[in-house]
Amino acid sequence: MPKRIGIFSFFTSLYRDGFRNMTWGKPLVWLILLKLFILFAILRVFFFKPAMKGLTDQEKSEAVGAVLTKNHNEDTLIITE
Amino acid sequence: MDVVVWSRIQFAMTAAYHWLFVPLTLGLALVMAVMETLYVVKKDPFWKKAAQFWIKLFAINFAVGIATGIILEFEFGTNWSNYSWMVGDMFGAPLAIEGILAFFMEATFFAVMFFGWNKVSPKFHLASTWLTGIGATISAYWILVANGWMQNPVGTTFNPDTVRSEMASVAAFWEVISNPVAVSKFCHSVTSGWVTGGIFVVGVSAWYLLKDRHSEFAKKSMLIGAIVGLVGSGAVMLSGDSSGVHAAEFQPMKLAAAEGLEDGGNGAAFTIIPGIKVPKMLSILATHDVNGFVPGINDILNGYTDNEGNVIPSVADKMAMGRQALDALAVYRSAGDPAVKADALAVMNANVQYMGYGHLSAPEEVIPPVGVVFWAFRFMIGLGMLIALVLLLALIAVWKDKLGAWKWLLWAAIVCIPLAYITGQCGWIVAEVGRQPWTIQGLLPVNVAISSLSAGAVKTTFFVFLAVFALFLAIEIRIMVRAIGKGPDVEPSEA
């Protein structure tokens, strides 16, 4: 009776053997790793800090609300019935 | 140039770069799945070899394209933080679903497809190949749900407490994911990917035929590529028609700009190029009625009555209503008295659909760059039709065994590969430049969506991106050209 392999073992061996036996695919893996490093370790960390990082949701609402309502106030509101 | 312009240029470059990889992924996925299906059904090892070669090119394209879309999400948080906060979960949910789905489908089925030739049964492998393509296609759907919402913001209500557009119910979520703009954009984008994949296969095969290499492989690949590309071309035309109708309904200014239509009317003519018009055609395309009314730029500025009899206010009136909405929002957010808040909320809700217009300082600001949109639209249609013609001729040439005699067609097929990319980019220029000045149609213009940043900071990241993107693109082209130069001789064990 053939031995049954669990799904975790299957994918582990799939990846392990796949990477080991790679020929033309190896430069692609290095390319992906290099790209992910540039994206997440350089661009994300040094160049793309979220503008509202560190603010609470309430503070974010206040900040965006202030931008939306800049130049708009009670004096200019006309309430019609 | 100010920070808004630099941020837009940066976003446009990132999106355009991302779109260099997506269409070929979608198109080659279908080609390789069809070829592998032929292998499993016919049990002909030729089709296995053919599928493996195109999977190799798919993998190269995939590897370089992977994660390029993530940069767009970085930019949302850094450059477009007001927008990101305002769209909230509405935008985040589809992107999160896309990210999770893409990761799991790609991590599993792509791995089986790429590594599993000798590890799983042919049928299981075939299923993995199809599911890799289907996964990429479903990913595209979620992205286009988010984009479609920006073009036609359905299913959400603006919450003045959180300052966000929120989905209130499951029904609202359904409304968002079945947004007609998203559905037609999805069909149009995915099937345009099939055309790109089809012409890529036809063009590469043509190169082999011109070099007198792998002739049998090239002819059979050309047949599959031409069929996939032609099916895609037909579907692109149908979905393009649907996109036109939706633009007329939800973004009439975009359609007017794409047509360079200053004054509209009933039975409007379609401009092929300036000076050459097809009578009534624009009305047929935009309204499916030969005498349907299509508003021009001036009609939209001054107000008009649409084909259902609805009176569409002038832009000046929309600006007044938008200002009322914003004034009411300001009062609502600052007032302590519940009665005042209730009155302000009522005013805001009555005018909220025009809230974005309240940020404009002149009605003319709603007009996108007409020349850019007009010509991008014509290049998209013209090149798309040229590619469809080349695909049709390639199919006939294979069928009638004329490839040896029609050398010009082989050259034309090669030239059409870059043209397919230009066509796709033109399509996105029409879609995105055509909806300016809006980030969210009618609700949020780009100059309010922007973060508080300096133009210098955005300029720096723009040039960093330009350098990184150019480097990776050069690497991809080099690896791709080498793989094509080597030809379809990959054995399963070499993957």
CA dist B26 to B139, B202, B228, B329, B495, Å? 10, 16, 11, 44, 21
Instruction: Choose the mutation target among A12, A19, A28, A30 for the interface with B, i.e. most B CBs under 10 Å.
Output: A28
Tell me how far CA of residue B192 lies from CA of B11, B16, B240, B260, in angstroms. 22, 15, 10, 24
Judging contacts by C-beta atoms under 8 Å, the chain B residues touching residue A24 are 56, 483, 490, 494
Q: What was the pLDDT predicted at B181?
A: 96
Shortest distance between the Cα of A54 and any Cα of chain B, in A, equals: 12
Evaluate if residue B25 carries a pLDDT over 60: yes
Token look-up 């395309």 returns: B285
Residues of B within 8 A of A22 (CB-CB) are 495
d(CA B406, CA A80): 74
Residues of B in contact with A64 (CB under 8 A): 82, 85-86, 163
Query: Quick check: B108 and A11 CB within 8 A?
Result: yes
Q: Average of pLDDT values for B273-293?
A: 94
Tens of pLDDT, residues B362-371: 999 999 999 9
pLDDT at A80: 47
CA distance B431 to B452: 26
Please state the separation of Cα A41 from the chain's center in Å. 12
**B11, B56, B76, B85: which to substitute to probe chain A, counting the most A Cβ within 10 Å?**
B85
Phi-psi region of B379 (alpha: psi -120 to 50; beta: other; left: phi over 0): alpha
Q: Residues B7, B75: contact at Cβ < 8 Å?
A: yes
B265, containing H or E segment? strand B265-266
Mention every residue, 6+ apart, whose C-beta is less than 8 A from residue B138: B101, B105
Half-sphere exposure of B93 (CA within 13 A, CB side): 16
Share of chain B above pLDDT 70, in %: 99
> What span, in angstroms and rounded, lies between the C-alpha atoms of B61 and B20?
9
Chain A residues whose beta carbon lies within 8 Å of the beta carbon of residue B346: 79
Cα angle B266, B272, B273; round to 5: 115
| B183 vs B186: CA distance, rounded Å | 5
| Contact state of B85 with A28 under an 8 Å Cβ cutoff | no
pLDDT at B412 over 50: yes
> Residue B495 — pLDDT band, cuts 50, 70, 90?
very low
Q: How does A4-13 read in b/e, with b if 16+ C-beta sit within 10 Å?
A: eeeeeeebee
- What six digits make up the tokens of A36? 């992910």
The alpha carbons of chain B give a radius of gyration, in whole angstroms, of 25
Of the ranges A53-57, B117-121, B422-426, B481-485, which is most confident? B422-426
Q: Are the CB atoms for B77 and B84 separated by under 8 Å?
A: yes
Provide mean pLDDT across the span B437-456. Answer: 92
In this prediction the ipTM stands at 0.81
CB atoms under 10 Å from CB of B97, counted, come to 17
Question: B276-278 and B304-305: which strand pairing?
Answer: unpaired
> Model confidence at A75, in pLDDT bands (50, 70, 90)?
low
* A-B C-beta contacts closer than 8 Å: 146
Q: Is the pLDDT of residue B494 over 50?
A: no
* 3-class secondary structure per residue, chain A: CCCCCCHHHHHHHHHHHHHHCCCCCHHHHHHHHHHHHHHHHHHHHHHCCCCCCCCCHHHHHHHHHHHHCCCCCHHHCCCCC
Query: CA geometry: angle at B427 spanning B426 and B433, to 5°?
Result: 80
Q: For position A72, what pLDDT does the model report?
A: 67
> Please, what is the average pLDDT of chain B?
92
User: Smallest Cβ distance to B326: which of A29, A31, A69?
Assistant: A69
* Mean pLDDT within B160-174: 88
DSSP 8-state class, residue A3:
P
Residue where the block lists tokens 């661009």:
A43
The pLDDT of residue A2: 55
Cβ contact A39–B70 (<8 Å): yes
**Is residue A9 very low, low, confident or very high in pLDDT (cuts 50, 70, 90)?**
confident
A64–chain B Cβ distance below 8 A for any pair: yes
Q: Does pLDDT of B453 surpass 80?
A: yes
Is pLDDT of B492 > 50? no
- Residue B461 and residue A47: Cβ atoms within 8 Å? yes
Cross-chain Cβ contact A24/B483 below 8 Å: yes
Give the mean pLDDT of chain A.
Answer: 80
Q: What is the C-alpha to C-alpha distance for residues B170 and A24, in angstroms, rounded to an integer?
A: 47
Q: Is residue B185 scored above 80 in pLDDT?
A: yes
8 Å CB contact of B161 and A61: yes
Q: Does A46 touch chain B (CB under 8 A)?
A: no
pTM of the complete model = 0.91
Per-residue model confidence (pLDDT) at position B485: 93
- What is the rounded average pLDDT of the residues B39-53? 94
Within chain A, what is the greatest distance between any pair of CA atoms? Answer: 85
Q: What's the angle, vertex CA B427, arms to CA B476 and CA B377, rounded to 5?
A: 135
Statement: residue B310 has pLDDT above 70: yes
Is it true that the peptide bond before B180 is cis, omega within 30 degrees of 0? no
CB atoms closer than 10 angstroms to residue B407: 12
Q: Chain A residue with minimal CA distance to B57?
A: A25
Which residue on chain B is closest to A49 by alpha carbon? B78
pLDDT(B245) > 90: yes
- Min distance A30 CA to chain B CA atoms (Å): 10
Q: CB–CB of A21 and B493 under 8 A?
A: yes
The nearest CA of chain A is from the CA of B275 a distance in Å of 44
Least confident of B66-70, B114-118, B448-452, B465-469: B66-70
The answer to whether the Cβ–Cβ distance between B81 and A15 falls below 8 Å is no
Interface-testing mutation among A9, A20, A24, A37, with chain B (most B C-beta atoms within 10 A): A24
Instruction: Mark out the alpha helices in B400-454 (DSSP H runs).
Output: 407-433, 446-449
Q: Does residue B417 have a pLDDT over 90?
A: yes
Q: Does position B491 have pLDDT exceeding 60, yes or no?
A: no
> What would the pLDDT profile of B390-411 be if each residue is shown by its tens digit?
999 999 999 999 998 999 999 9
* Cβ–Cβ under 8 Å, residues B258 and B373: yes
Distances (CA, A) of B220 to A11, A18, B214, B430: 34, 29, 10, 36
